[in-house]
Amino acid sequence: MSRSLREVVFVDGVRTPFGKAGPKGIYAETRADDLVVRCIRELMRRNPALPADRIDEVAIAATTQIGDQGLTLGRTAALLAGLPTSVPGYAIDRMCAGAMTAVTTTASGIAFGAYDVAIAGGVEHMGRHPMGEGVDPNPRIVSEKLVDPSALVMGSTAENLHDRFPHLTRERADAFALASQQKYAKAVADGRIGPELVPVATRSAEQGWGLATVDEPPRPNTTLDGLATLKTPFRPHGHVTAGNAAGLNDGATACLLAEEETARRLGLPIGMRLVGYGFAGVGPEVMGVGPIPSTEKALARAGLSIEDIGLFELNEAFAVQVLAFLDHFGIADDDERVNPWGGAIAVGHPLASSGVRLMTQLSRQFAERPDVRYGLTAMCIGLGMGGTVIWENPNRSGSTTEETTK
């Protein structure tokens, strides 16, 4: 039996304010699963036209699937959020690209016809669950030299990129980091970042209850001179610092995906249309270059070129990783198409949640930019991978489903 694929759309996305990991962070005494439950509830509140029993799947990612980030998180979060017991769910782990993979996996199910509507997202509470907590890496990884030992330390893999591409200097990385902070601050001041945030009640045994309404990690007073003084914790006289890399963070994201005609029948908004995606592997010790082959793969399969992309949302795990991507594709460090509202160096990177943050921002940018047809979200992934998702702007004048399929 032949079967045609259906169009998949990004309906809406939300996230908690991102916090700093650790005992002084805003979520130090808040459960990880409660963060993602709050996002699911907010999605339903913002989209009252969607009956809860029309949701066919809930896929929630976490890198460290232990404690309050374990127990088949998609299912438990769905139940805790008050969705009907008929709504199934599951958990996903692809390290930093967990939420991205939750989107591509459920979107594939929608395109195939298994689902009409799905929720996808991710959560990471790095204060409660540091990356790698409870894992037992097979000793063969090191003893048989299957990968370089530095592959298990993400900061070391970023230093390896500086070694491989010496023209990607610390000065360039610091300048990119400063721009991220400045663009984020401007986006907040202009009201562009904020509407997607879900207020979260926080608890502190010492200070009582509070309400998280803004991101905690940004450092608006950052200067180049200040960045130049920071230590390089992964290597003496290295290049990677706390200023030109994303921090350790807590936070959650969630989004609604739907088959396009179903979304229209239900009166749901259409933020963007899925064009295609790609994942690729690279040497684990240089995982930061992963988005390069994944983007090449996604573009080739979509019949597009890098010149067709009008907006880029690139996850800033490390400045050098983004710079390597930009250099490869001949894009300037300060190209206004790239992370126009800043990125993870400013706002934070709660690992498995970040993919949906990128998508939510791209969707909101599409609404402001009817002149742009295509955008992409891309990120490097621990253990040597990259992921890229290409989207079409439905707000573009003359944009149609038929155009996408040509």
Residues acting as catalytic residues: 96, 349, 380
Q: Where are the alpha helices (DSSP H) in 214-353?
A: 224-228, 260-266, 291-302, 319-328, 344-347
| H or E stretch at 73 | helix 73-80
Which tokens hold the place of 1? Answer: 């039996």
Residues 387, 173: Cα–Cα separation, whole Å: 22
Pick from 30, 38, 19: nearest CA to 198: 38
Task: Give me 335's structure tokens.
Answer: 């190209």
Q: Assess contact for 287 and 157: CB atoms under 8 A.
A: yes
Q: Which residue is it, tokens 């690209």?
A: 97
Closest C-alpha among 385, 388, 383, 384 to residue 355? 388
For 197, other C-beta atoms within 10 Å of its C-beta total 17
Task: Tell me phi and psi for residue 385, to 5 degrees.
Answer: -145, 165
Instruction: Please return the burial class of 169, using the count of CB atoms within 10 Å of its CB with bins 0-12, 13-18 and 19+.
Output: middle
Instruction: Calculate helix-pair angle for 319-328, 154-164, nearest 10 degrees.
Output: 40
Run of H or E including 161: helix 154-164
Q: Indicate the DSSP class of residue 235.
A: S
Residue 171, classed as helix, strand or coil, is helix
Identify the residue whose tokens are 């979509």: 302
Residue 89 in contact with residue 78, Cβ under 8 Å?
A: yes
111 in Cβ contact with 6 (< 8 Å)? yes
Which H helix or E strand runs over 212? strand 208-212
Give the three-class secondary structure for 262.
helix
